[in-house]
Structure 1
Amino acid sequence: MSINNLINNSIQTMSSRAACLIVSIVFLLSNFIFYPVVFEQNDDVIMKLIANGYFTGQAESHLVFINIIAGSILKFLYTYIPRIEWYAVMQIGLIITVFFSNLYCIIKYETNAKRLILTLINLSLIYFLSRLQFSYVSGFLAISAVISQFYGLTNDNKKLLAFSVVLMLLSSLIRFEMFFFTYPILFITFLFKIKKVLSVKVAVIGGVLIIGAFLINQFSYKNNPDWKNYQDYNKARGTVTNNLNLNLDDKNLIQTLKLNDEDRFLLSNYIFTENLTTEKLKKLASYSKESHVSIEKSVVSIYSYVTAYSIVIIAFLLVSLITRRFTVAIAILLHIIMILITVRFSNMVQYRILYPTLFCLLFLYLQSLKTDESKSLSVFLTASLSIFVLIQVRDIKKNTFFNIRAQNNIREIEMQLPKNKAYLVDPTSNYFLIGRSAFENPERKFVFFGWLTNFPTNKKTYPDYNSNLYRMAEHPLIISNMNYNKLKSFIFNKTIYTIQEKNIVVPTVKTQ
């Protein structure tokens, strides 16, 4: 190759990367002009509040579900540039990275109709940008690593393969379990057969980095007594709340663990008394005639929680078999088996592993089709995918409406609460006060429970701290009126703020 050709190729490559990056940033950030950034669930809100110092008074790196390495970077940024909400910026930046990576592969290696079709699939990521969730972000990073490796191995692009390793590591840092539930199946079915030696080398390098980061995270928690105790307690608490077979009326269980009426009644409402230590919670989780959910219950759980997805994935399996895309069909079957295993042994639907995996399977399926040779097929797919993107935009608008309404309700409630107080928030009522807007924080000081029960800083801040917030008599409690009427016989807080209909807050001083 001549020097001129080499220079021209280098310029073209750099230009395509720069163009893809600019398009990714401009397109995705322009979305914020019309739609606010919202977290899908409370977990991200809580981790953001841990990271930015809302709970502790200073930035914190222990984010429980997210690796300590990512947490330390966030802590550094919050410490020295505190006015920016870095947790949300991180999530947005990683989604942009996924979008850019996929788009670069499409633009560089695909042509004509296939380029348009795969770009439309990539546009579906805007749906997840409008409802950020750390598990989704981790899953899509893992999927983007698969797509980058697919094109890198196929076209012998070493730089792209190196970048895919970075994506693998980022995925594991955001949530290790999500990487584990997505990447291995796709590696086995799609990547290993392309170039066995090179694909294994890339996977091993990524695996070593991921294991190293995982061990660093484990060491950080185990080396800190406060966070080790919290992590152990939180895991035990999670296994109890996820155990579908737990029978709190079992007489043997009650006698063995010495559970009183208060323990059992509050536990049925996800509130943990001081009697429920880490050791007792571990025994409680395993104490049932059947330790795991049956296959039948697993299938029912999947269809109950994600009916639409289940129909789509079965239809996709049939289409893959009919069109003789057996690699995709095998990947779908392994994916379904993985879901059954996680439901059966984790007693819950790990539904956030579903959508990133489906995205990748559909992407690689469409990539395998000869759309450039069939005009009717390319027109059909383009029209179908365009309708799908429009449906997503409609859902984003709905989500925006509900978020704005919820945020207004929260502000209305907060305005009725006196300032300069710290309010204990009933776990069954926290949805009244946890706003999911990515760039807004509570205006009042709230102490949340749930998976923040036994949070290390709370124990140090409140000398009378109790994992059962209803036993912290001197601290004001905020609770919905419905839950107060149900739980009031176990509530001993002297000052209670009940949330009535139309967000009216009524202060009550309870007589003992």
Structure 2
Amino acid sequence: MKKQAQSMNFIVSATLTLAIIVLAGIFGDYYFDLNDDVLMKDILAGVYTGTPAGHNIQMLYPISAFISLLYRVYRGLDWYGIFLCFCQYFCVFVILKRALSMSEDKLYKGYAAASIFFFMLGAVGAHFLFVQYTFICGLMSATAVVLIMTHREGEKRDFVLAVILIVVAFLIRSEMLLLTLPIVGVGILIKWCFSRIELKEYYDGAVQVSRYGEKKSLFKEYAVLCLVIVGGLIVSLTANRIAYSSPEWKTFNAFFDARTELYDFQYVPDYAENKNFYDSIGLSESQQKLLVNYNFGIDEEIDTQVIRAVATYADSLKTDETPLPAKLVQSIPMYLYRLRHVAFQKSYEYPMTDSPFNVIVAVLYLGTLVIYMAERDKKKRLLTVLSLVLLFACRSSLWLYIIVRGRDPIRITHPLYIMEIAVLFGMIIDRARTSRRYIFMPLVIAAIVGAMFVPNQISVIKDEMAERAKMRQHYDALYDYFDSNRDYFYFVDVYTSVSALDGTERTFSEKMFSRVDNRESNHDIMGGWASKSPLYYDKLADNGFESMEKALLEDGVYVVAKESSDVSWIGEYYEDKGKAVNVEKVDQVTDAFMVYKVSAAK
């Protein structure tokens, strides 16, 4: 009978997961959400260098090496896209199966399944189609929390799968996993405290029997879980450091860190106002323009020391910078607004709204409090209040942290919501084994809220699909142009690689599973986060180039920039290098892109 119930839970979970996949496919198509994801895919697939590479810079080496190995076995599939989609739908399946297995009550099963199903469609929906590895990392971490929160004594597989999910999520996006790790810790602590309190002393006749041994064993079980998680992260980091231990990669990693500091947290100071500084580090005005327009790949003199010096100087100019305590105070109104503001989404990302995530969070906080306050045990009621306060304090700290840093896109905020929901949902369905019908109420309300937002999510997806279709008309034409001229090589202006029409159109991304061509590309951008990496130099060498500066003057090499771009910086750069050049427009691709030839002036 038990096996039959388990089989039915598996079938229902698989069916609902498949239904979500089918409905997502009906609503829209799959895209890599950002151009960063596209470059990562190109590196893994061998599109960038001609050989599938495990060093894709953004992910830790073990998982990158695994995905690149799939491309080495067979280059004809979009393995990176398949991997990301598998991860997200596997998480949906695991959450569904775990929720259904918590009770044999059919009414509970129905409400639990409905709450998850409509949450996935009404809240997560668009993320399934516009796939981003940061979001998937958060979803995997949340799935691990559900497994931990609903763990039953003796079921070691729960912890094993939870650890695997956390470690793989760390390999995919280490920074995001570390951001979610405090909530994982809160979930583990809450689960251990409730499990411990349930190990009450009991009487054998007139003699009170201690359960000290069982409590000690329970503590050891959860302590080992924490140690294994930490150990898995340390092993992952160690493997990654070994893989990037060559002098070339160490040099690039230092450059990457300096570049991140400059562009993500500082700025490039104006040249005219800071000429003395630029003169002191030997940077001309034309070189400073390369930092402004991100095309620094053309100049080998712009190295780690230069980037770091500019970042340090920019930081020193912030004389009116607000102290951290004041920043925290200033961020509170925004935090409270995000917490309480309820509205349908107007578009996929901007203007941002946190609905229905914040509504569902409020429902689950209240529902959890009501369910556990019905317990007769005073210790459980007190523990419930303390647990919810701890969870809210943890989430508040994380939210204030990202708001203060100004790093709060939906690929970060939505996973934080899902993490919080995972803890609350886990606490609720863990009570399902008591078969008390009142636990169904928060699940019913959550299902209704999710269902209410499904039409809005469909509208958002359709609008986003239309915007991406406009973008693809330009970039598909550009990539077709590259393919039809494979004997030539093209260096693409960085801003052009991001947006074709000066921000009036969706930024560049690539459709998954469409136009899959994993041959080495005959183009590269003139800057960006992979510039000056060992992979970048491999690509130059593979095409017979010594450097970008010299390559641009060779026959068959061109620059691509959007129609509205001013390319006078190219001539100015070479003039500062003592070379007179002509920059001539030789072709046009659609109404957006211009192709230029740089040649020595006669």
**Same fold by TM-score greater than 0.5:** yes
Indicate which of 512, 526, 551 corresponds to 1:438. 512
Question: 1:339–1:218: structure 2 CA closer, same or farther, 3 Å change rule?
Answer: farther
2:255 equivalent to 1:258: no
What whole-Å deviation, never above 9, does each CA across 1:98-155 have from its counterpart, x for those lacking one?
11111111111151534422442244443211011111111111111111111115x6
Quickly say closer, same or farther: Cα 1:410–1:501, change in 2 above 3 A.
Answer: closer
Q: Work out which structure has the larger RCO, using CA pairs closer than 8 Å and 6 or more positions apart in sequence.
A: 2
Contact 2:244–2:250 (Cα < 8 Å) also in 1: yes
Out of 12-21 and 365-374, give the one that drifted further: 365-374
| 1:59 CA displacement | 1.1
| SS class of match (1:55) | coil
Equivalent residue for 1:202? 225
CA distance in 2, matches of 1:26, 1:318: 27
5 Å-filtered alignment, 1:264-343, equals 264-272=288-296, 273-287=299-313, 288-289=315-316, 294-295=323-324, 308-309=352-353, 327-342=387-402
Residue 552 of structure 2, aligned match among 472, 476, 479: 472
Q: CA deviation at 1:219?
A: 0.9
Aligned-pair CA distance for 1:162: 1.6
What is the aligned partner in structure 1 of residue 132 from structure 2?
A: 133
The amino acid that maps onto 2:182 is P
- Go from structure 1 to structure 2 and tell me whether the alpha carbon gap of 1:415 and 1:78 turns closer, same or farther (over 3 Å shift): closer
1:398 has 2:463 as partner: yes
Q: Give secondary structure in 1 for the equivalent of 2:565.
A: helix
TM-superposed CA distance for 1:37, in Å, is 1.0
Structure-2 change in CA distance of 1:243 and 1:380 (3 Å): closer
Moved more, 174-183 or 425-434: 425-434
Q: Is the 8 A contact 1:181 1:338 kept in 2?
A: yes
1:56-455 matches, cutoff 5 A: 56-109=49-102, 111=108, 112-123=110-121, 124-152=123-151, 157-188=155-186, 190-195=190-195, 197=219, 198-222=221-245, 224-244=246-266, 247-248=269-270, 249-250=273-274, 253-272=277-296, 273-287=299-313, 288-289=315-316, 294-295=323-324, 308-309=352-353, 327-342=387-402, 348-349=407-408, 352-365=411-424, 372-373=437-438, 380-416=445-481, 419-420=485-486, 421-432=488-499, 434-439=508-513, 440-441=515-516, 445-448=522-525, 449-455=527-533
- Contact 2:60–2:240 under 8 Å retained in 1: yes
- Counterpart CA distance in 1 for 2:588 and 2:550 is 16
What TM-score, normalized to structure 2? 0.73
Deviation of 1:78 after TM superposition, in Å, equals: 0.8
Q: What is the percent sequence identity of the aligned residues?
A: 16
Give the drift of 1:338.
2.7
Counterpart in the other structure of 2:210: none
- String of CA shifts for 1:22-57, please: whole Å, max 9, x gaps: 542454256335522101111110011001111111
Cα 1:166–1:29 change in 2 (3 A) is: farther
Change (3 A) 1:26 1:231: farther
Cα distance change on mapping 1:340 and 1:486 into 2, 3 Å: farther
User: Measured at CA, do residues 351 and 487 of structure 1 come closer, stay the same or move farther in structure 2, by a change above 3 Å?
Assistant: farther
Residue in 1 aligned with 2:591?
A: 502
2:174, 2:571 → 1: CA distance? 42
Equivalent-residue separation in structure 2 for 1:327 and 1:316 (angstroms)? 18
State the Cα distance separating 1:356 from its structure 2 match: 1.1
SS of equivalent to 2:491 = strand
Which letter does structure 1 place at the counterpart of 2:523?
Answer: F
Any conservation in 2 of the 1:320–1:328 contact (CA below 8 Å)?
no
Q: Deviations over 1:336-364 (max 9, x none)?
A: 323444565x6644753321120232344
1:278 CA drift (Å): 1.1
**C-alpha distance in structure 1 between counterparts of 2:366 and 2:10, whole Å:** 37
Letter in 2 for 1:446: H
Match of 2:213 in 1: none
Give, as a single letter, the amino acid of the residue that structure 1 aligns with 2:464: N
- Cα displacement string for residues 322-379 of structure 1 (whole angstroms, at most 9, x for unaligned residues): 78566445434323323444565x6644753321120232344456569943888666
Distance 2:350 2:85 in 1: 26
**What is the identity, as a one-letter code, of the residue corresponding to 2:226?**
A
Shift of 1:415: 4.4
TM-score (norm 1): 0.84
Hey, what's the Cα distance between the residues in 2 that align with 1:246 and 1:432? 21
Q: Quickly say closer, same or farther: Cα 1:175–1:390, change in 2 above 3 A.
A: same
Shift of 1:95: 0.6
Matching residue's letter, 2:294: Y
Distance 2:85 2:256 in 1: 28
Which of structures 1 and 2 has the bigger CA Rg?
2
Separation (CA, whole Å) in 1 of partners of 2:593 and 2:267: 38
Deviation string for 1:425-477 (max 9, x for gaps)? 1111102585421234579622123112113243243465546x698333310
The one-letter amino acid of 1:280's match is V
Q: Distance in 2 between matches of 1:386 and 1:322?
A: 20
Q: Following TM superposition, by how much is the alpha carbon of 1:254 offset from its aligned partner in structure 2, in angstroms?
A: 2.4
Using the TM superposition, name which of 163-172 and 364-373 deviates more: 364-373
Distance 1:252 1:143, change over 3 A: farther
Q: Which runs of 5 or more structure 2 residues have no equivalent in the other structure? A: 196-217, 339-348, 370-384, 501-507, 575-580
CA RMSD of aligned residues (A): 3.7
In structure 2, what is the Cα distance between the partners aligned to 1:506 and 1:279?
33
Deviations, residues 398-441 of structure 1 (Å, cap 9, x unaligned): 22222223222222234455512121011111025854212345
Once residues 73 and 459 of structure 1 are traced to their aligned partners in structure 2, the CA distance between those partners, rounded to angstroms, is 23
Deviation of the 1:293 alpha carbon:
7.0
Q: Say whether the 8 Å CA contact 2:134–2:173 is kept in structure 1.
A: yes
| CA deviation map 1:298-324 (0-9, x unaligned) | 756978998745798888888788785
Structure 2 counterpart SS, 1:423: strand
Distance 1:130 1:182, change over 3 A: same
Q: 1:213 to 1:408 in 2, by over 3 A?
A: same
- Count of aligned residue pairs for this structure pair: 501
Partner of 2:577: none
Q: Are residue 41 (structure 1) and residue 34 (structure 2) matched?
A: yes
Contact 2:141 2:169 in 1 (8 A): yes
| 1:485–1:297 distance in 2 versus 1, CA, 3 Å | farther
Cα distance, 1:265 vs structure 2 = 2.2
Structure 1 residues 366, 495: CA separation in 2 closer, same or farther (over 3 Å shift)? same
Partners of 2:441 and 2:230 in 1: CA distance? 43
| C-alpha distance 322-30 of structure 1, shift in aligned 2 (>3 A) | closer
Task: After superposing the two structures, state which structure 1 stretch, 398-407 or 332-341, moved more.
Answer: 332-341
Aligned to 1:3: none
Q: Distance in 2 between matches of 1:457 and 1:67?
A: 16
Which of 516, 525, 534 aligns to 1:456? It is 534
**In the TM superposition, what is the alpha-carbon distance from 1:388 to its structure 2 partner?**
1.8
Shift of 1:76: 1.7
Question: For residues 141 and 402 of structure 1, what CA distance do their matches in structure 2 show?
Answer: 29
Q: Which amino acid aligns with 2:138?
A: G
TM-superposed CA distance for 1:504, in Å, is: 5.9
Asked if the contact 1:139/1:356 (under 8 Å) is kept, the reply is yes
Offset, 1:389: 2.7
* Alpha-carbon separation, structure 2, partners of 1:262 and 1:95: 45
2:489–2:522 contact (8 Å) kept in structure 1 = yes
Deviation at 1:225, TM superposition (A): 2.9
